[in-house]
């Protein structure tokens, strides 16, 4: 097995990203926010913060992100400079981007998206996303915190990892992991490039499919509107309100 944090940092350097790596931090998103708009990030419009262990990883709201062994999960924050503030639908696009990258790399696994920020395999949670927008004067940057259980999952009944589902190291090699990071970088970059736009018809359908693939939904989604509003037979709620 390879070290997820170290392997990801090596990939980022080879991909010419502005990469920051420490073996242990409090939270990659907090670390990225401290560095945002500083001279160290000025060398590239895209920066990646990586660690092998978070002592107080953050999720959405008051939720936290936990892990078992160091180097067993992807603990990352991707920082993109933006020419203008993003629309709230950027969070929809980010979730879809992660689901697309996973499905493209391991198409035989049943990935799905749970609004607003969770990635599932079957009935179990694989990872979470925390998107934060920062502004300083006319400057904007988007911080995308992504945690994925790779080799291990926390001791929680509804948590899982990639390795638990692949069941074979041949399908989770360092080469496969780099291929996933290549696709993830592509999908995130495309999503961020459209951050000021409403969802297109094809994006709405792709989101609808990713959401409805979750196997234990209490009710299926009927549609996703251009502003990120989710429609079921009984409810109408905007993505940002979840």
3-state DSSP call for residue 8?
A: helix
Write down the domain spans for the chain.
Answer: 4-197
- Rg over CA atoms, the chain: 17
Tokens of 165: 């589902």
* pLDDT for the residue numbered 23: 92
* pLDDT for the residue numbered 199: 97
User: Pick from 141, 140, 96: which is nearest to 116 by CA?
Assistant: 96
* pLDDT for the residue numbered 70: 73
Report the DSSP beta bridge partners of residue 139: 136
Tokens of 90: 């950027």
Q: If one looks up domain 4-197 in CATH, what number appears?
A: 3.30.930.10
**Residues, the chain:** 242
* pLDDT for the residue numbered 155: 83
Low-confidence ranges of the chain (pLDDT < 70): 43, 56-68
**Strand residues in the chain grouped as ranges (E):** 18-22, 46-51, 57-58, 64-65, 73-82, 111-114, 118-121, 124-136, 139-149, 221-224, 229-232, 236-238
* pLDDT for the residue numbered 68: 60
pTM attached to this predicted model? 0.92
**DSSP 8-class letter at 41:** G
3-state DSSP call for residue 159?
A: strand
* pLDDT for the residue numbered 30: 95
């Amino acid at each position: 097995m390879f070290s997820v944090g170290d392997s990801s940092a090596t990939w980022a350097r080879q991909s010419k990203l502005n990469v920051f790596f420490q073996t242990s931090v409090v939270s990659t998103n907090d670390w990225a926010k401290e560095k945002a708009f500083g001279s160290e990030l000025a060398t590239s419009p895209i920066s990646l913060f990586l660690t092998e262990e978070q002592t107080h990883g953050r999720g959405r709201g008051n939720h936290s992100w936990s892990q078992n062994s160091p180097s067993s999960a992807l603990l990352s924050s991707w920082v993109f400079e933006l020419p203008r503030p993003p629309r709230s639908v950027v969070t929809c696009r980010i979730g879809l981007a992660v689901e697309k990258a996973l499905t493209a790399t391991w198409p035989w696994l049943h990935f799905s998206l749970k609004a607003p920020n969770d990635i599932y395999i079957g009935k179990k949670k694989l990872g979470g996303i925390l998107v934060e927008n920062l502004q300083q004067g006319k400057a904007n940057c988007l911080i995308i915190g992504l945690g994925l259980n790779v080799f291990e999952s926390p001791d929680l009944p509804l948590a899982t990892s990639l390795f638990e589902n692949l069941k074979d190291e041949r399908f989770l090699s360092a080469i496969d992991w780099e291929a996933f990071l290549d696709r993830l970088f592509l999908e995130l970059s495309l999503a961020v490039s459209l951050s000021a736009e409403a969802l297109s018809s094809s994006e709405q359908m792709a989101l609808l499919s990713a959401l409805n693939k979750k196997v234990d939904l209490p009710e299926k989604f009927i549609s996703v509107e251009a502003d990120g509003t989710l429609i079921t037979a009984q409810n109408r709620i905007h993505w940002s309100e979840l």
